[in-house]
Structure 1
Amino acid sequence: MIIPYFFRNIVPRKEQRTGQKPLLAVLAGLTWIQWAHFFTGWLAWTCDNIDFYSVPLSVNALQVEFNKSTTEITTTITLTLLFRAVGAVIFGILSDRFGRKWPLVINLVLLSVLQLGAGFSQTFKQFLALRALFGVLMGGIWGLASATALENLPVEVRGLASGVVQQGYAVGALLAGCINLTLVPDTKTGWRSLFWTGSGISLFAAFCRAALPESEVFLRARAAEKARGTDSAGRTRVFLKETKMMLKRHWLLCIYAVLFASGFNFMSHGTHDLYPTYLQVSKNFSTHNATVSTIIGNCGALVGGVVAGMTSQRIGRRLTIALFACIVAAFIPLWTIPMSFSALSVGAFCIQFGVQGLIGVVPVYLTEISPPGFRATFPGVTYQLGNMASSATSQIEATGGENLRTTIVKNGELTNIPDYAKVQGIVVGAAVAFVVIIIMIGPEKHALRFEKHKAAFEEGAGQEDVFDLEDNHGEKDSSSSRPVSLEGEKGKV
């Protein structure tokens, strides 16, 4: 049933692109609660990445602090990415069962505590352990943040919203870069001040989410179940049963989503995690210039996310992803070959325009192809399993650079250095090819109105399948019937 769908609908059908209101009119009609939910989802993902990029920006300082090699320091990045899948499972299940609000608040508070603790680490073992635990909490953020931001918005703005929300990734890296550029050099504590500042921003995000009500979509679903007389224990039993049914019915879709997530995460981490070190070692940049170039690249990411999100609303998610992957491939030479600050910064802008533009479509794409009742668990877990698969990217690049070396002129002398440029070009090029192939054989459910379907704790939620739908308006052919309305009305899905 799923496999035949993989080979059709490269471009959304006409009925999927019609009946939608103009974007500006929809934006003007949003309530302040919808705007606030969107903002808190974006802010949570931004904080997540301020905290994550504290390590890549501090690799050289951490080497000095703990007397470790680049490869050993990047082990902390690998551990963080490995443990993210655990957090995605834990907090995704809590969110789909108990709501979007408090699981995200708790997640952010604990994230803040661990980031604060990492800044006080006195030994490398302490730092390593805290970053591993940090990975668990970091893994819970993405699925909850995207569900919070997107599920209460009209379908007409979800493409744009997806691009902006995902660029919390770039904004987080950009803010971390700015803090590293301005605050860190002027404080006696050095790299630790970057971690402590990130901790405070995460705590602020937790307070912002706590001040807002629960997701309206989730509240309606819970009210409908109460009206049917289902108590909390009963909802939990149904949730567990429907989760098992979802996994049994959608195992092939799960595999596809993980493969896709692995590809774009290899691309993302391949262009980000070792980039400041690459500029300093392979291109002989100062720490200041390497940070500035990183910030320029993240500006390209912001532009790419917005452009790709809006483009996907018109031509579809898959075609947009493939198009932006080709943009990445085209600019790999400009990103790796030059030696000047200006040329490499232009390359960084263009590469991140493509990479983060592509990834900007991911939240809405994974949400649309997800089993509708599992919009926090399914996208979050598959995204973080992809992160787990790509967790060793920075170590692969660091090890590859140590074995594939080149020479540059440094202080008037030829110096033998790791060739991080060539290694990163190979890794990113391979990831681009993989993403293009996997996305073009994947499903498309452009502008699906997933909010019209059941929550995970409602009977039949695990059997709902977006690929059975004849259109994107929550309607199905007459051969099947399922209760659909969040208000508890009976009808054809």
Structure 2
Amino acid sequence: MENHDKSHVDPEHSHHAEHHEDQTPWHGMSVGRYLGTRFSTLKPPMLSAPNPLKLVVMINRRQWAFFAVAFAAWTWDAFDFFTVSLTVTELSETFDKSKTDITWGITLVLMFRSVGSILFGIAADRYGRKWPFIVNNILFIILELGTGFCQTYEQFLACRALFGVAMGGLYGNAAATALEDLPSETRGMMSGVLQQGYAFGYLLAAAFARGLVNTTPHGWRPLFWFGACPPVLFIIFRLMLPETDTFLEHKRLREAAGRHTAESETEKSNVTSTFIKEGKVALKRHWLLLTYLVLLMAGFNFMSHGSQDLYPTMLTNQFNFNADQVTVTQVVANLGAMLGGTTVGYCSQIFGRRFSIVVCCIVGGALLYPYTFVTTEAVMAAAFFEQFCVQGAWGVIPIHLMELSPGAFRTFVVGTSYQLGNLVSSASSTIEARLGEKFPLPNKGTTKRYNYGKVICIFMGCVFVYVILLTFIGPEHLRRSFDVADDSDMREVAGVETMEDELHDREVRAGRPVGSDEETGHQEKSATHRE
């Protein structure tokens, strides 16, 4: 394999005699050769990218529908998660428990999200994106209603643990539904928009909490009852849409491979056996990459939790901000996050995924001092730009993970790596709180005060360095084709003959001259070509 150091930046450059092969840019490299290309491959490829308005026009109505339902569900997923953190005081009074006890409801969600990502990820890759998505939202309805009707602390914990399973199952499915059928040129920008559904969900939760909590005789419960309503609309919306084209192509190829296999007697078992074979091939080929993705996502989750979780506590305990000042600062920070995710996601399509992440971490590190040491309301500006950088790097993640994931297990890998990373980082706020106790400040009356700003600054400095190093040594597969014709894992499982037969049938179904795709010589094919 030649020109490895350019392969990730030039998607139209053919490295193989058989262009259908979706070999990674680092395929066949020795460890020394791979490490030697980390600097050269970090160089911005400066790929041309259309005007953002043109990108919007490139997305057809069906693709917009897929993106909209995924974005809405991911946003409301975040809304449901933040309902507990925004009502900790009220919950502790209702259940006669300490605030620390109530935060176990948050911890349980983080712990069980990995279970959901595994279960729903495998289901979505095997049976399709549609029905696991619908089941996910049915669980949201049941568990949000259930939380609102809880009468005991134990019931509350049980509902939140089960909610963690449902929440963990949605992310990978939402990313696949939203992005895998999009034209390749639009994926960077839309990845950034999708990821910021999380920040948007927080803003919605904060707004509705002010309107629904303690404004009726039912206290905090109306917020949870309301949270169960929008998923009904998402279910109806998703029922009106078909499966994604990318999944349907994989499904047809599995069925074709099953028909050529004499090991099973029924088509169902043939498809399942093909799916299992794909899993074995993916683990054999990509186990090291999958481990890397979990470590990378641990760093990213430490980056977001480390910069956000203890920040309101710092504003009130150390800077003496009142409730309104804290709310405004948080809203400004989340607006910066939403803008950063979209902007950097778009720019990563031009400058590359790794380069964009590294730049965000460097600039974010430079902003740590004003973010944690400016004690006046001017800190809002620092919060805006700090979260612009943190969530700007996050905006690259959905498409970066999808481009690195094995095609047959895209939902599982994206969701599970994200949630396992989240599990590893779930102790970040506890770590910062314990470190804060090492830096006491003069008490304010009977209230103990700590220098949380110094702790956040030190902690985030270490996290930024970790993410930079891991991103630097990590791989990149910029503008990878999601077409099943370019899936080398599937080619190994199904066989060349089966693959070619199915591609021939696809051309016939599409009404195009047979071999038209082959004449392009491109690895990059957008979803619009498949329609």
Scaled by the length of structure 2, what TM-score is found? 0.81
Q: CA deviation at 1:462?
A: 10
Distance in 1, matches of 2:182 and 2:161, equals 34
Aligned residues: 471
Cα pair 1:220 1:487 within 8 Å, conserved: no
**Secondary structure at 1:417 match in 2:** strand
Cα pair 1:282 1:417 within 8 Å, conserved: yes
Residue 170 of structure 1 pairs with residue 170 of structure 2: no
Cα pair 2:258 2:270 within 8 Å, conserved: no
**Secondary structure at 1:53 match in 2:** helix
Do the aligned partners of residues 485 and 40 (structure 1) sit closer, same or farther apart at CA in structure 2, a change above 3 Å counting?
farther
Q: How does 1:235-250 map to 2 (within 5 A)?
A: 235-250=271-286
Q: CA deviation at 1:115?
A: 2.0
For 2:351, the aligned partner's letter is: I
Deviations 1:308-361 (A, max 9, x none): 011101100001011111222122222222333x22322321221111111010
Deviations 1:31-82 (A, max 9, x none): 2111010111111111111111122222333333334444433332222112
Distance in 2, matches of 1:259 and 1:484, equals 37
Aligned to 1:119: 148
Do the aligned partners of residues 215 and 447 (structure 1) sit closer, same or farther apart at CA in structure 2, a change above 3 Å counting?
same
Distance in 2, matches of 1:134 and 1:485, equals 44
The alignment yields a C-alpha RMSD, in angstroms, of: 2.9
Percent of residue pairs identical: 42
For 1:447, the aligned partner's letter is: R
Deviations 1:173-194 (A, max 9, x none): 1111111233324233333232
Q: CA deviation at 1:280?
A: 3.2
Distance in 1, matches of 2:149 and 2:494, equals 45
Q: CA deviation at 1:457?
A: 10
Distance in 2, matches of 1:138 and 1:419, equals 34
* Structure number with larger C-alpha Rg: 2
Distance in 2, matches of 1:122 and 1:236, equals 43
Distance in 1, matches of 2:177 and 2:473, equals 29
**Secondary structure at 2:479 match in 1:** coil
Distance in 2, matches of 1:62 and 1:347, equals 32
Residue 314 of structure 1 pairs with residue 343 of structure 2: no
**Secondary structure at 1:250 match in 2:** helix
Do the aligned partners of residues 236 and 227 (structure 1) sit closer, same or farther apart at CA in structure 2, a change above 3 Å counting?
closer
For 1:130, the aligned partner's letter is: C
Do the aligned partners of residues 482 and 234 (structure 1) sit closer, same or farther apart at CA in structure 2, a change above 3 Å counting?
closer
Cα pair 2:345 2:396 within 8 Å, conserved: yes
Q: State which of 244, 262, 275 in structure 1 corresponds to 2:311.
A: 275
Q: How does 1:287-306 map to 2 (within 5 A)?
A: 287-306=323-342
Q: State which of 442, 457, 460 in structure 2 corresponds to 1:425.
A: 457
Cα pair 1:305 1:358 within 8 Å, conserved: yes
The farther-off stretch of 441-450 and 54-63 is 54-63
Do the aligned partners of residues 345 and 180 (structure 1) sit closer, same or farther apart at CA in structure 2, a change above 3 Å counting?
farther
Q: How does 1:42-191 map to 2 (within 5 A)?
A: 42-191=71-220
Q: State which of 2, 5, 10 in structure 1 corresponds to 2:41.
A: 10
**Secondary structure at 1:361 match in 2:** helix
Structure 1: which 5+ residue stretches go unaligned? 464-479
Q: State which of 446, 465, 468 in structure 1 corresponds to 2:478.
A: 446
For 1:290, the aligned partner's letter is: V
Distance in 2, matches of 1:325 and 1:383, equals 19
Aligned to 1:286: 322
Scaled by the length of structure 1, what TM-score is found? 0.87
Distance in 2, matches of 1:58 and 1:277, equals 15
Aligned to 2:499: 483
Aligned to 2:448: 416
Cα pair 1:49 1:168 within 8 Å, conserved: yes
Structure 2: which 5+ residue stretches go unaligned? 1-27, 260-266, 506-514, 524-531
Residue 254 of structure 1 pairs with residue 290 of structure 2: yes
**Secondary structure at 2:77 match in 1:** helix
Distance in 2, matches of 1:454 and 1:131, equals 41
Aligned to 2:396: 361
